[in-house]
Chains A and B, each alone.
Chain A
């Protein structure tokens, strides 16, 4: 009985569990994954930004969509123009309900003319099937069968070039290719959740461990570091990447309309292709929102250091910043009233700044607007001066090179 209540473990558990000094486990989509290996996040975080960080992302929901109507299904499901996707391409996308509110987000990889892989944060089989009525398409969930590793950081390519049969120098940003590690076939996509140079590796679950071992051995010189999802959480905020049910409420989870967000409100204008042909779910609502303008927008908030320092100086303290990403709603104020809220805030070690992802109302979401963010100074609510800034906060030159 008890065993049924236990979380699943990923195909890398045999390795990750032995390396985890902190034994800081996190629940992710029914799996137990490493929150942090170390007692402090510094080492893992800096692996992402300076070296190569190896992150177990196997709990990502994975679906394979095949058949004559595979492209048609994804074209209908998402606001992306799937007709224009070539084989070898990966596209990030959100998808909406008919009211144009986000249900989930993930990536689509075109594996063949009639063959796609979709990743999602949430179980999506029902929604995919509901959208496939009347189509000639087969949808298979492969979440448990396919292991996924994310190798992120400026040295990630160098490490991969050592272990993969094929060189990855030619693999462009948001493209994927097939290769192998030893005799294990893998596919590699140049994607990630850190905003750095990085790759994600996809392989059969029962062949996962040799790939982990090969990477750890080959990456040793480069300081490859197993990295938990908490350090990744800081990096993704710096990269301006948001998370379901943290930075937006998935429409099916919302209790009230006001909790829902559209992709335009989330700043995904670039991933909403209203010029594409044909119906897609939420099209009319998104067209209307585009015409009328969004009431909300996800923006970056940068807290001004001197102002923060002053607030803490009043009680005789140096500024105290959380050392990890905090998923707490914090009011954003302007003109004496609340104009939004930060959904995730973090110290950015690479920028040396206190930053946050925030939902802000029109017209305060314009870049450059001066606002205040609520902070707690020695148990008291205070308002630190801050600015609305463009996302991402951090984008190294090597990310897309």
Chain B
């Protein structure tokens, strides 16, 4: 039977959108390029004995999405963020300000420990505001119609309800750098650096970059705090729950169905064409692929207005995250938690500096997580666009720097390694379809947020092509794998 809506990409945003539509009675077909659903939230096996959360060590859907869709998602737990300090010390940070956290902060600064609960409260408010913003349809500036302005007015009310002092603090913090923000709260460089590392996680920015106040709120919101939210059995189970719910609602997911072209007739969607030549008709297509790939490759620049093409070309996609997975004999000696190597603000900023100049950081900011015998290193910064070398040459450098840096913090690790498997930004593009290896489908920067995401004037999930909507991480509600973008886009499609 023909589908009402085709969704390109079975990542969390695509699957969330599919579920909302199916719940509203639409016949939905999700087409996934890979042989596994989940997109970035994927748990897969490779090599000999690796089975792990390949890209994100944890994750969660927004609670409202879970309840809207009645999803049977596995329980997740937020783990502490543990910053490994030079000389073997550890700084333990949690959002619930328990005694261990306060004691740990107190060991570097008494004053900072006193201030910690206040900071957590502020961040909870700030991320709460961001959550509300991500649920609010954005107007198409500069010409805002009344109906578009109304939800925004509600958001302003929400913000106002924070109270004048907090409202001001939240707005002020958005464009600030993480360094400036944390300087106002804490005196310890180690505390500032740990928070700064969370702020730049997944972004090609340093803790001294403007707008990392915003990315800090964003990552705090998506993680529900500082450390990762591990999923029992792997993040892939979130996708499994979404697929099961979709099937129960009569929707379908087709794996290994690689969409190569969105078929148009007179600027109107007619369906899609797969790599094998098969054509599937539908009058509505939603793409969870990144906006640049969707518009310039699947639709094609010749079918789109020139100014729009210019804007799509200008979306900043600057991936600089690499992953290095280590299969160990189990004696890696890592404690539980989200471990980071980000001992000072300067260290993290230096790591980012390399990316600015098209080089792989020799002393990277690392996030280290262990799942049984598998140790995963999230590596920043490793830019997609290398200035003088290519990723064929640079992979060995990446793996060596990753292991050296991690082993300096956990000496037992080196001898436990049995196998190394790395993913460069180029691998992220080729295997996971992330243009320029950008996990967020477009950088989270001040000129690409809210009504400017994915580009100014097009924050409504619509495109110049009738029947084509964007629902991935690159549109309002994203980035990240929270499902917010998929939920927002589905609401637009249901209204259309």
Contact = CB atoms under 8 A, between A and B. Distances in A.
Interface stretch (A5-13, A262-270, A276-284, A305-313): A276-284
Interface residues of B, number: 16
A133 interface: yes
A98 B302 CA distance: 13
A79 to B, nearest CB: 14
A98 B307 contact: yes
Contact of A283 (B267, B296, B307, B309): B267
A131 interface: yes
Interface string B294-314: 001000111111111110010
A127 interface: yes
Interface residues of A, number: 15
A130 B310 contact: yes
Interface in B279-335: 296, 300-310, 313
Given A133-B313, A279-B267, A283-B267, A97 B302 contact: no
A130 B296 CA distance: 13
Contacts of B304: 279
Contact of B306 (A69, A72, A131, A284): A131
Contacts of A279: 266-267, 302-304
A281 B301 CA distance: 12
Nearest to B310: A130
B267 to A, nearest CB: 6
Contacts of B305: 98, 281
Interface string A97-133: 1100000000000000000000000000001001101
Chain B at the A interface: mostly helix, strand, loop or mixed?
A: helix
A97 B313 CA distance: 18
Contacts of B464: 98
Nearest to A131: B306
A97 B301 CA distance: 15
Contact of A133 (B266, B267, B309): B309
Given A130-B309, A133-B313, A76 B302 contact: yes
A135 B306 CA distance: 13
Interface string B453-480: 0000000000010000000000000000
Contacts of A283: 267
Q: Which of A97, A134, A135, A284 gathers the greatest number of chain B CB atoms within 10 Å?
A: A134
B302 A281 contact: no
B168 to A, nearest CB: 37
Contacts of A127: 306
Interface string A317-341: 0000000000000000000000000
Nearest to A73: B302
B302 A134 contact: yes
Contacts of A134: 296, 300-302, 309
B302 A72 contact: yes
A67 to B, nearest CB: 13
A283 B308 CA distance: 15
B61 to A, nearest CB: 36
Nearest to B312: A133
A85 to B, nearest CB: 18
Contacts of B302: 69, 72, 76, 133-135, 279
B303 A281 contact: no
B37 to A, nearest CB: 30
Contacts of B296: 133-134
Contacts of B308: 98
A133 B303 CA distance: 10
Nearest to B305: A98
A306 B305 CA distance: 51
Nearest to B306: A130
A72 B303 CA distance: 11
Given A76-B302, A134-B296, 8 more contacts: A69-B302, A72-B302, A97-B307, A98-B307, A134-B302, A135-B302, A281-B305, A284-B267
23 contacts: A69-B302, A72-B302, A76-B302, A98-B305, A98-B308, A98-B464, A127-B306, A130-B306, A130-B309, A130-B310, A133-B301, A133-B302, A133-B313, A134-B296, A134-B301, A134-B309, A135-B302, A279-B267, A279-B302, A279-B303, A279-B304, A281-B306, A284-B267
Interface of B: 266-267, 296, 300-310, 313, 464
Q: 5 closest Cβ contacts across the A-B interface?
A: A134-B301, A133-B301, A98-B305, A130-B306, A131-B306
